[in-house]
Structure 1
Amino acid sequence: MATGQAPGNPIPAMRTYPPVEHPVVVIGPQYLAQYPVDLGVNSDFKVSDINGTLIFQVKSKLLSLRRRFLKDAAGNTLVNLRHKIRTMHGRWEAFRGESKEQSDLIFTAKKSKLFQFKTELDVFLGNNKGEVPDFKVKEGNSESSCSILLGDSNTMLAQVHGRHTLAIMPNVDYAFIVAHQVVILDEINADDYGDAAINSFIDGFHYQKFA
């Protein structure tokens, strides 16, 4: 019996999610860990682990408001993400390195519905030409929380808590989670709700610019 637990008083059940049966690799197998990974994002949009070690950083080129670059700790560009203008569902495309070639397309993300009260995204891998998404992003009870699921299942890949923390499940590509969760979702929220909402969502985060 747990300390302080009254006799006969049931302990609330823990909500569980099906484990990831196979490793989820999108950007690269070097970004897999066999244990849960917690990453934090600071006000300079630098992504660090629980020990404060820099893992990733997100930047944008000067005068390029619709293009983001996910870089590793050494400054190497892993992914560049760009917004497709004139698309009704706010489509973003992610390419390997600094390429813009379709052969280097890693994934696309778009709003599941044109009008929605809570953000929900469909994420398609580059070779998926169908209508069934490979991943789903669903906003939680507040704009500062969301879940990333495997396809249309309830298999949890990662969660965002309190605007600052990414909790990523074992054997899930954490570079991919950072790329589409931290970069794309806040931009789509900005498109939907304006500057006030994005400021609320990212709690004062800002992108560093470089020439």
Structure 2
Amino acid sequence: MTDQEILAEVEPEPLFAAELFGDRIEIARRYAHHLATTGVEWGLLGPRELPRLWTRHILNCAVVAELISPDDVVGDIGSGAGLPGIPLALAQPAARYVLVEPMERRVDWLTMVVDDLGLDNVRIVRARVEDLVDEEVFTVVTARAVKSLAVLIEWCAPVLGPRGRLLALKGASVEDEIVKARKQIRRAKLNQPTVRELGSPPLEVPTRVAELVRH
């Protein structure tokens, strides 16, 4: 398929996008273009995701920005196609973001996209989060479609600073994951998770976030 044919498959931009991104909407549109073209070509996003590119991916992530403070340092674990890190960096540009991704091909794509978008509040680290202990400290860690909550806690708790927060974007099974992660929550000295539903309306399906705060 040509780029023109690919872009014809992309979900029309919802009106909500301009409200959410404000004066950075043009950058968000460029990011959407990258996801739909090079993101699909490089295998970071499946072509079947194009008809829900904005609502299921970009805006689904960007609504989490209301949980990010301007002085936060956010580690986006297993960033992949920059989700949720890049939409968050656009929606809350005062904070700083570190996209943590171990796979070279994905790091190359992220580097290309971040450079093209001119995101000076974003840096990229090629690593597993487990290898960043004593090298990075985050006030917030985000993760989307990475691992179960129990595994995420084991991986991410060591890089969370005092009162640091883990924001895990989860699906309908989030409550079951919380039950299965009880031991890890207690061991990592995290408060009982708060499940937040964000963005609905106008998003038809809200974004579910399990928020865990370090004691």
TM-score of the superposed pair, with normalisation by structure 1: 0.27
Specify which structure has the higher proportion of helix.
2
Higher radius of gyration, 1 or 2: 1
Q: More relative contact order in 1 or in 2 (CA 8 Å, sep 6+)?
A: 1
TM-score between both structures, scaled by the size of structure 2 = 0.27
